[in-house]
């Protein structure tokens, strides 16, 4: 059996899940970790017993033994420079979203990937949510006919909204709706987006992080299908990092409704009142199983590298998602629909924002 060596840069929430998955995989021989938070590094060392651990990510980049590098660092400004170094070092790269901050950076990373014949995947974990995979299957097998319209409404807790919007000024479209934009574009393949309209609204978050509370996006596809994506990050607590999603997928011969609001397991205690466990987007370990998509996504990546299989969501596909959320932000600013592909003028306006 071919085993691979994996390096992980940033082992906070997501990187911690990925490190534990790698440590448990028989396909992974050596695990090497870099984490700048020394307390967190100690925790992850005790959980995963890595071959090496460092506070300097360059130790991962320069490690010749590695087949792949997983980049799970924050803030999001770290993604492009670290991914560039990892690709230039000749490693297959798995990068958490967002791929980059600008389309030029994304193009540069994709060019380095292609020139070096590397795999380069972006973490759009919802493709590994079994309910979302069922939606894709329904369309592939045409059990609900041809798609007509899709609605995805997702809301996160305010504490998670504060964590995200406190570290980056990227919009709700770029940081949250991005998952569902990737999901619906995946569903609609090979149709392409042609027009985007979006509105955002201020509410409770403005005083703490200056961000909007919610953003809604309508996308028209070249086959006429309408996609509506809503993202909010101002919900009261129901569980740490609780995420609630409702999906309606309408076809010519049927309809699929997905309830991913996590109200199926209700945990009620005198101490904390009602909690909805296993309800974050990546998921969490539950004894010997993992409740959520991030474990399976990481296993898929390990297998893609070990067996030379295609990555699930390539950087090129993630760039398509970037174009839509950038168009959505431009639409908010201009208060009008934006046509795709973005023109040079529109792009310079996005870059200046």
Q: Contact positions toward ligand NAD, by CB under 6 A?
A: 9-10, 12-15, 34-37, 40, 57, 72-74, 76, 78, 96-97, 123, 125, 281-282
Rounded to a whole number of angstroms, the minimum distance from the CB of residue 6 to ligand NAD is 15
Nearer to ligand NAD, 74 or 209 (CB): 74
Nearer to ligand NAD, 220 or 314 (CB): 314
Rounded to a whole number of angstroms, the minimum distance from the CB of residue 292 to ligand NAD is 8
Nearer to ligand NAD, 37 or 192 (CB): 37
Nearer to ligand NAD, 42 or 334 (CB): 42
Q: 15 Cβ partners below 8 Å, 6+ apart?
A: 8, 9, 35, 70, 72, 73
Axis-axis angle for helices 315-334, 344-352 (nearest 10)? 80
Residue with tokens 């076809």: 251
Rounded to a whole number of angstroms, the minimum distance from the CB of residue 98 to ligand NAD is 7
Q: 3-state SS of 269-300?
A: ECCCEEECCCCCCCCEEECCEEECCHHHHHHH
Rounded to a whole number of angstroms, the minimum distance from the CB of residue 244 to ligand NAD is 14
Would you say 60 and 34 are in contact if contact means Cβ atoms under 8 Å apart?
yes
**CA–CA distance, 222 with 192 (Å, rounded to integer):** 6
Sheet harboring 193-201: ordered strands across? 255-260, 243-251, 147-157, 226-235, 214-221, 193-201, 338-339
Beta pairing class for 147-157 and 226-235:
parallel
Nearer to ligand NAD, 25 or 54 (CB): 54
Rounded to a whole number of angstroms, the minimum distance from the CB of residue 170 to ligand NAD is 9
């Amino acid at each position: 059996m071919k085993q691979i060596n994996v390096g992980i840069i940033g082992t906070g929430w997501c990187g911690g899940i990925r490190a534990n998955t790698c440590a448990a995989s028989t396909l992974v021989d050596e695990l090497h970790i870099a984490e700048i938070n020394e307390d967190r590094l100690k925790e992850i060392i005790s959980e995963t017993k890595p071959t090496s651990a460092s506070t300097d990510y360059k130790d991962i980049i320069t490690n010749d033994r590695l087949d792949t590098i997983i980049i799970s660092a924050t803030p999001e400004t770290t993604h492009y420079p670290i991914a560039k170094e990892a690709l230039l070092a000749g490693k297959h790269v798995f990068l958490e979203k967002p791929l980059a901050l600008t389309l030029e950076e994304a193009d540069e990373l994709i060019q380095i990937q292609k020139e070096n014949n590397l795999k380069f995947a972006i973490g759009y974990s919802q493709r590994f949510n079994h309910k979302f995979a069922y939606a894709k299957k329904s369309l592939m097998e045409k059990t609900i006919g041809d798609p007509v319209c899709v609605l995805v409404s997702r809301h996160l807790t305010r504490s998670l909204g504060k964590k995200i919007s406190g570290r980056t000024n990227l919009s709700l479209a770029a940081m949250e709706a991005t998952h569902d934009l990737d999901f619906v574009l995946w569903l609609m393949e090979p149709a392409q987006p042609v027009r985007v309209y979006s509105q955002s609204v201020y509410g409770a978050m403005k005083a703490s992080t200056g961000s909007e509370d919610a953003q809604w996006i309508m996308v028209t596809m070249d086959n006429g299908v309408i996609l509506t994506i809503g993202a909010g990050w101002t919900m009261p607590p129901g569980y740490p990092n609780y995420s609630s999603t409702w999906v309606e997928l309408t076809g010519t011969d049927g309809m699929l409704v997905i309830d991913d609001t996590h109200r199926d397991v209700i945990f009620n205690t005198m101490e904390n009142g009602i909690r909805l466990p296993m309800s974050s987007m990546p998921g969490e370990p539950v004894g010997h199983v993992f409740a959520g998509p991030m474990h399976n996504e990481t296993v898929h990546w390990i297998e893609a590298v070990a067996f030379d299989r295609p990555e699930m969501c390539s950087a090129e596909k993630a760039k398509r998602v970037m174009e839509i959320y950038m168009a959505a932000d431009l639409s908010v600013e201009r208060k009008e629909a934006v046509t795709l592909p973005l023109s040079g003028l529109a792009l310079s306006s996005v870059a200046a924002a």
